[in-house]
Amino acid sequence: MTRDIGSIIMILIGGALLRITSDDVYLRYVKESLRPWLIASGLILIVLGVLQLVDVWRVARREHADTAALSQADAGAAPHGAPRAAWLLVLPILAIYLIAPPALGAFTAERQSSVTTAPAASAQAPPLPAGDPVVLPLNDYASRAIWDDGKTLVGRNVSMTGFATAAPAGGWYLTRLTLTCCAADATVTKILVLGEDSSSSPQPVPVTNSWVTVIGRWLPGGGIQSETAIAHVQARTVTPVPTPRNPYE
């Protein structure tokens, strides 16, 4: 790879980082806390690319001006191009600019079982914050239902937002993915949505992967004190909503 192409690749990659952080696209891939680092490294890459491009032009002009005057030693010390593997950097550039892959959703969620990690043994679940209904992340709800016998959930209206996935035994799950670091390590929380009769899912069943807000109450069932237990919720209302700004918890 010649040095001028290397420069353009650095500028394009840096630009790609700036582009996904200029709106919320980066939240499909990484956590919000990485944003300043993405911007900083994007700017650095653009500066490196521009410096190298200017250098290429400068060298070319000097060679053009005095080909004869250029000593052999100088020519030998001129920086060479990048290895062929650097061409592969075109892949993320194309993927980001042209495809901008969507956030992970039902495909990933259906491959994994819901995992709710046990909270620290010493920590009691704190009381729910104020609000009627109180807005809760799915993993918080599941943790309270599964590891605290739902004590803090009794008698409260909760509001949770996630996407729908099909439950193997019939009905549907309210689903949300959680990132630790980036989308490569997504874990899934599923909550079985039941209707007024507490035994079957409310109709109509939302389309798989579509986002809904469920307002309802905690319902015992689905197992407790187990990582793979699936909490239940009795839905009063199920409202279609647009995809949230950050698709992950």
Partner 1 sequence: MTQVATKRWKPTPIEIFIAGLAIFLLAQRWLVGLFQAPVWQAGATVFVAIVVQALPFLVLGVVLSGLITAYVSPAFFERVLPKKPALAVPVAGAAGVLIPGCECASVPVAGGLMAQGVSPAAALAFLLSSPAINPVVIVSTFVAFPNNHMMALARLIASLIAAVLMGWAWLAFGKGEWLRIPQRDHLHGDTKFETFWRTAAHDFLHAGGFLVIGGVTAAILNVVVPPSWLQAVSDRPLLSIVGLSVLAVVLCICSEADAFVAASLTQFSLTARLAFLVVGPMVDIKLVALQAGTFGRQFAARFAPVTFVVAMSVASLVGWWLL
d(CA 39, CA 18): 6
CB of 232 to partner 1, least distance (A): 22
CB of 145 or CB of 214, closer to partner 1: 145
CB of 35 or CB of 236, closer to partner 1: 35
CB of 116 to partner 1, least distance (A): 9
DSSP string, 1-64: --HHHHHHHHHHHHHHHHHHHHSSGGGGTB-GGGHHHHHHHHHHHHHHHHHHHHHHHHHHHHHH
CB of 99 to partner 1, least distance (A): 5
CB of 45 to partner 1, least distance (A): 6
CB of 242 to partner 1, least distance (A): 19
Q: Running DSSP on this structure, what letter comes out for residue 182? A: B
CB of 215 or CB of 224, closer to partner 1: 224
CB of 2 or CB of 210, closer to partner 1: 2
d(CA 168, CA 58): 65
d(CA 160, CA 143): 14
CB of 94 or CB of 241, closer to partner 1: 94
d(CA 127, CA 139): 15
